[in-house]
């Protein structure tokens, strides 16, 4: 791997072969002597990594460069259900998890652009091209960034930090509460609109925020309104997070999101008509600790739906907690608890999701810096019965 | 309805328990090994940084100096003692974790490209030529360069 073209290299990047020490000052020679004393396997691995982090942007009068990067994963999975449910529904299969390509470009010193496109492979052999993000960002200073386009809604930690690239996350898939809209998800994890975000640092710690104004939900959960809004009332959201200076790696935050969901008198998917609009309020909270070895992440979300002209309320909750601990540098065993509680009779979630309680145990092995192998077992309790699921996944970044 | 409310309370209680446990358990602090220092361009008005500040700079949480001057971080050469000292301050177990962090930062549009690396000479040259640059070098190598100023980190 040493001497390979840098894994971080994108379109137009310069490539360096590795550490170069042609002429070094005496102080550097001292460093080298110390370095030779730690020729461990770990050091060998480390040496392969950072020489690949290369200079790329050349601002000024030239045309802005673009960098192309991406994620992908392949996996083998098997599921087996409670035999009391009837005929054997066990399945096992190899799965091509698709390719996630994202382009970044520093248009100016304070303006950047990102476009993310996912090539997905569906059941039945269909190939789908999904534009996930198209986002322009202006950074006035650390306290104020303005962005516009399609992005990831600031609902909590997971949705901001992880998405289609499973390599980024510890587990093989997303928590139940953060499923994608087209995968039975209950939260609006994507938005089209504008954001203001920033971060202040004080002696006590740092406070960051993300404010969002966006097209709201469409008439079904999977309708991310890209070029229109079925009602004029925009969705608004705010996330705030505090990270204390005395506990590096620790943080906690809260979020809110308000929207008006339009009626849907003639649904095309066969679900019953929804003759009234609904208000949606989402309240979230999250805590995390990202340490050298220990990773702890927990989030809670409450989704409250009120039908206009009706006194009934529909309350849905999602929660997950993840604990992982890195051992022997490359191994990271983990456990995640997921809980989804769905009020029955919500016309917006018709047939979409049900109560689900899931336990996930697994281990991640970082075979190479940008290639992770994960083995995972899940046990789910649903209203309709229990399900077991196992997966072996290779996820990578390039 | 009642059941979901109970579930909601259970979820909040779980979250609260996690937060409390974390706050009680985590209290460690780190400081850069004393033989290494941070250096900045002499035009940079910053005179002191804490370990927390250095972490924010190298983890791309803070991208501007006072006066809105952009930060340019220069990483030490891979597998060097300077890199080890930096990783200690960043609370990272190895360089792989740092690479993963930068990949994630690019994904989140926090940065467009990963930072540059440089040996001592390259780091000094970069800091001399870029008013917003910061690098980590041995203290002895940082002395005697007029265009470069040593920044104390946590009193070092």
Dump pLDDT digits (tens) for A129-161. 989 999 999 999 999 999 999 999 999 999 999
| pLDDT in the model for residue A50 | 47
Is A299 within 8 Å of chain B by CB? yes
Average pLDDT, chain B: 83
Residue B32 pLDDT class (50, 70, 90 cuts): low
More confident residue, A355 or A333: A333
| Minimum mean pLDDT range among A97-106, B63-72, B123-132 | B63-72
- Closest alpha carbon to A44 in B66, B96, B61, B110: B96
How far apart, in Å, are the Cα atoms of A314 and each of A306, A311, B86? 6, 10, 51
- Among chain A residues, CA nearest to B102: A53
Question: Choosing among A206, A298, A324, which should be mutated to test the B contact, i.e. which has the most B CBs within 10 A?
Answer: A298
What's the predicted TM-score (pTM) here?
A: 0.80
- Pairs across A and B, CB distance < 8 A: 217
Distance CA A196, CA A175 (A): 26
Q: What is the mean pLDDT of residues A255-273?
A: 85
Q: Residue B21: what pLDDT?
A: 60
Q: What angle do CA B117, B119, B124 make, to 5 degrees?
A: 95
Could you report the predicted ipTM of this complex, rounded to two decimals? Answer: 0.77
Q: What is the mean pLDDT of residues A216-234?
A: 82
Kindly tell me if the per-residue pLDDT of A221 is higher than 90.
Answer: no
| Mean pLDDT, all residues of chain A | 83
CB A198 within 8 A of CB A145: yes
Residue B13 has pLDDT above 90, yes or no: no
Tell me what pLDDT residue A302 has: 97
Q: Using one digit for the tens of pLDDT, what is the confidence trace for B34-48?
A: 689 999 999 999 988
Sign of CA dihedral A176, A178, A179, A184: positive
Q: What percent of chain A has pLDDT over 90?
A: 56
Say which residue, B17 or A211, is predicted with more confidence. A211
A316-326 b/e with 16+ CB inside 10 Å = b? bbbbbbbbbeb
Q: For A19-33, A69-83, A110-124, B78-92, which range has the lowest pLDDT when averaged over its residues?
A: A19-33
Position A310 scores a pLDDT of: 73
pLDDT of residue A87: 62
Mean pLDDT along residues A113-124: 90
Residues of A numbered 79-138 whose beta carbons fall under 8 angstroms of chain B's beta carbons: which are they?
102, 104-106, 109-110, 112, 114, 135, 137
In order of A96, A197, A291, the CA distances from B89 in angstroms are: 39, 27, 12
Interval B64-87 mean pLDDT:
90
Measure B41 CA to nearest chain A CA, in Å.
19
Mean pLDDT of B128-156: 86
Q: Angle of helix A26-36 relative to helix B81-90, nearest 10 degrees?
A: 80
- What is the reported pLDDT for A377? 97
- Residue among A321, A326, A322, A320 nearest A291 (CA): A326
B113 to A56: CB separation less than 8 angstroms, yes or no:
yes
Give the residue-averaged pLDDT of B138-143. Answer: 89
- Residue A288, phi then psi, degrees to nearest 5: -155, 155
Task: Give the lowest-confidence range in A45-49, A88-92, A314-318, A329-333.
Answer: A45-49
Match 């925009």 to its residue by tokens.
A234
Q: What's the confidence (pLDDT) of residue A18?
A: 36
CA distance to partner chain A, nearest, from residue B13 (Å) = 10
In this prediction, residue A385 has a pLDDT band, given cuts at 50, 70 and 90, of confident
Token pair recorded at residue A94? 């190899």
Which chain B residues are within 8 Å of A34, Cβ to Cβ? Answer: 81
Res A292: pLDDT = 87
pLDDT at B59 over 70: yes
């Amino acid at each position: 791997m040493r001497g390979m073209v840098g894994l971080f290299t994108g379109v137009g990047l310069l490539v360096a072969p590795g550490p170069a020490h042609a002429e070094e000052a005496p102080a550097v020679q001292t460093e080298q002597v110390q370095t030779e004393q730690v020729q461990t396997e770990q050091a060998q691995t480390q040496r392969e990594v950072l020489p690949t982090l290369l200079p790329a942007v050349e601002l000024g009068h030239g045309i802005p460069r673009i960098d192309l990067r991406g994620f992908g994963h392949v996996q083998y999975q098997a599921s087996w259900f409670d035999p009391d449910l009837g005929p054997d529904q066990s399945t096992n299969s190899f799965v091509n998890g698709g390719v996630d390509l994202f382009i970044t470009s520093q248009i100016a010193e304070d303006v950047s652009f990102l476009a993310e496109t996912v090539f997905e492979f569906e059941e039945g052999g269909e190939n789908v091209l999904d534009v996930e993000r198209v986002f322009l960002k202006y950074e006035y200073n650390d306290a104020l960034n303005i962005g516009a386009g399609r992005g990831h809604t600031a609902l909590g930690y997971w949705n901001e930090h992880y998405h289609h690239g499973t390599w980024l996350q510890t587990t093989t898939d997303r928590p139940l509460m953060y499923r994608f809209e087209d995968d039975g998800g209950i939260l609006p994890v994507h938005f089209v609109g504008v954001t203001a975000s920033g971060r202040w640092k004080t002696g006590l710690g740092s406070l960051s925020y993300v404010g969002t104004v966006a097209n709201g939900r469409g008439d079904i959960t999977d309708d991310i309104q890209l070029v229109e809004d079925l009602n004029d009332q925009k969705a608004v959201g705010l996330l705030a997070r505090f990270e204390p200076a005395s506990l590096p790696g620790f943080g906690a935050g809260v979020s809110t999101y308000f929207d008006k969901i339009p009626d849907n008198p003639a649904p095309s998917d066969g679900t019953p008509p929804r003759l009234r609009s609904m208000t949606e309020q989402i309240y979230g909270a999250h805590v995390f600790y990202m340490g050298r070895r220990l990773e702890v992440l927990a989030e809670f979300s409450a989704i409250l739906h009120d039908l206009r002209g009706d006194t009934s309320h529909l309350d849905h909750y999602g929660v997950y907690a993840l604990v992982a601990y890195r051992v022997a540098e490359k191994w990271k065993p983990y456990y995640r608890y997921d809980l989804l509680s769905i009020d029955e009779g919500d016309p917006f979630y018709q047939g979409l999701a049900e109560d689900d309680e899931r336990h996930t145990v697994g281990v991640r092995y970082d075979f190479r810096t940008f290639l992770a192998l994960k083995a995972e077992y899940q046990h789910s309790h649903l209203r309709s019965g229990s399900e077991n699921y196992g997966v072996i996944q290779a996820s990578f970044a390039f | 309805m009642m059941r979901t409310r109970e579930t909601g309370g259970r979820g909040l209680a779980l979250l609260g328990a996690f937060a409390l446990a974390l706050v009680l358990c985590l209290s460690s602090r780190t400081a850069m090994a004393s033989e290494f220092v941070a250096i900045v361009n002499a035009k940079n008005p910053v005179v002191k940084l804490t370990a927390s500040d250095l972490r924010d700079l190298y983890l791309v949480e803070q991208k501007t100096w006072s006066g809105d001057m952009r930060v340019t971080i220069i990483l030490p050469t891979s597998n060097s003692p300077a890199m080890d000292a930096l990783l200690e301050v960043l609370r990272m177990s190895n360089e792989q974790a740092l690479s993963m962090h930068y990949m994630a930062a690019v994904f989140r549009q926090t940065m467009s490209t990963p930072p540059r690396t440089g040996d001592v000479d390259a780091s000094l040259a970069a800091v001399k030529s870029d008013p917003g640059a910061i690098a980590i070098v041995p203290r002895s190598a940082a002395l005697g360069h007029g265009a470069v100023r040593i920044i104390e980190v946590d009193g070092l």
